[in-house]
Amino acid sequence: MSSFWSFYIIGITTIFLVGIVALIHFTRRMPDSEGVGETTGHQFDGIEEFNNPMPKWWLNLFWATIIFAVGYLIAMPVGNWKGLLNWSSSGQLTNDQIEHERRYGEIYQRLASVPVEDLKDNPQAMRVGQRLFEDNCALCHGQAATGGYGFPNLTDNDWLYGGAGDTIKTTVLGGRNGQMPAWGDALGAAGVRAVAEYVMQLSGQDDVNASLARQGQTLFNASCVACHGQDGTGNHALGAPNLTDNTWLYRIPGESLRDSVQYTVEHGRSGRMPAWADVLGEERVHIVAGYIYSLSQL
C-alpha cells in the first residue's frame, strides 16, 4: 500500500473517532425541560415519545467501545501500520496450515507406507481419499467418479494407462497427455468413413456395413495398429484406448456413435489429465490413488 492510502485510512479512522468524542461532548447538555413529561414531538398512533434522560451507564458503554476501538487500532494492522500484535490474515493462514500439518501429517505419513492397493481396506484412508477426490477430482470425473464426455470413467475397471495401484498414482502425480492424431488429411473423407466403420465392427456394433469395414481394416492395419494394436485392444503404455469394447471417451449423448468415431478419426483428440504432485503432494496423491483403485474394485 502506498503511504498516501495508508495515511488516508489512518486519517479517516482517527477523524471518525475524534468526531464521535466531539459528538458526545457537544450533545451532552440540553436545555432544561420543565421537569418530566416533555415529549420529543414524535407521535405514532397517538403514542408520544418522552424526552427523558438516558442512563449514565449507557454513555459509559459508549466510552468503553471508543476506548476499545483505540486499543484495537494500536494492536491490529491499519494502513501500513502492522499493529503491536503483529497479526495478519496470511500469518493466520500460515499458522493454521502448520497446525493442520502437525495434526494430520502423521496420519498421511503412516498411510504412505501402505501399498496403494491395500488402502481400500483402511476406512480412514478411504474417508480421507474420498474427501480429497471430491475436492479436487470430482469437478471433471464426477462425484461418483463416473466421468463424462472427454473425462474417463474411473469406476468401470477399464483403464487407458492400466489400473494397477502404482500406475494410478503415477497418473495422478504426473498427469497424462492423451493425443490421438488427426487422420483426415492422410486418409481422405472416404478413408475416414471406412476406418470408422471398421472400428464400429471391432467394438461389436450390429449395424455395420461389412464391405466398407473390410476396406477400413486395410487402412487400419496400415495406420492405426502402431498404437491401438493388431487386434485393436489398445496399449496401456501409450494410453491408446481399447477399441474392441463399448467404452467411448468421446461419445456425445444423443449423437450417433458412428458420427463420433468419424469425428475422432478425422480431427483427432487431445485429452489432458493435469499433474497433481505440486498441488496435493505425494502423500495425499497416494491416498487418492488408493481411493480411485477401490472404486474400480467394487
Partner 1 sequence: MTDKIQVKDVTDDAVKTVDLYQEREKIYVRRIKGFYRNLRVYGGAALFALYFGTLWLDWNGRQAVLFDLPARQFHILGITFWPQDFMLLSWALIICAFALFLVTVLAGRVWCGYTCPQSAWTWIFMFIEEKTEGKRNARIKLDDQPMTLEKFARKAAKHLLWLAVALATALTFVGYFVPIKTLLPQLVTFQVGGWAIFWIAFFTLATYGNAGWLREQVCIYMCPYARFQAVMFDQDTLIVSYDEARGEPRGARKRGIEPSEVGLGDCIDCELCVQVCPTGIDIRDGLQYECIGCAACIDACDSVMDKMGYEPGLIRYTTENSLEGKPSRILRPRLIGYGLALAVMIGLFSWVIATRVPLDLSIERGRGELHRITSEGLVENSYQISLMNMSERDHRYRLSVDGLDDLELIAPPMVEVEAGGVAEFPVRLLINPNELQLPNNEIHFTAEAVEDPSQRVSAESRFFGPARF
| Footprint on this chain of partner 1 (rule: CB under 8 A) | 27-33, 52-59, 123, 130, 138, 142-146, 148, 155-156, 158, 245-248, 253, 298
269 three-class SS? strand
Q: Which is nearer to partner 1, 6 or 155 (CB)?
A: 155
Nearer to partner 1, 223 or 244 (CB): 244
Query: Minimum distance between the CB of residue 229 and partner 1, rounded to whole angstroms?
Result: 19
Least distance (Å) between residue 123 CB and partner 1 = 8
- Three cell numbers, residue 47: 403514542
DSSP 78: B
C-alpha cell at 2: 502506498
Say how far apart CA 19 and CA 214 lie, in whole Å.
Answer: 91
- Nearer to partner 1 by Cβ, of 158 and 166: the residue is 158
Residues 6+ away with beta carbon under 8 Å from 201: 208, 210, 213, 216
The C-alpha atoms of residue 122 and residue 280 are separated, in whole angstroms, by 20
For residue 191, the minimal CB distance to partner 1 (Å) is 27
Q: How far is the CB of 63 from partner 1 (least distance, A)?
A: 11
Least separation, in Å, of the C-beta of 233 and partner 1?
15
By C-beta, is 32 or 278 nearer to partner 1?
32
d(CA 222, CA 239): 20
Block residue for cell numbers 493462514: 93
Provide the minimum distance between the beta carbon of 15 and partner 1 in the complex, in angstroms, as a whole number: 24
Please name the residues in contact with 25: beta carbons below 8 A apart, sequence gap of 6 or more.
none
Count the neighbouring beta carbons within 10 Å of the beta carbon of residue 262: 20
Give 32 or 185: the residue with its C-beta nearer to partner 1: 32
Q: Which is nearer to partner 1, 187 or 289 (CB)?
A: 289
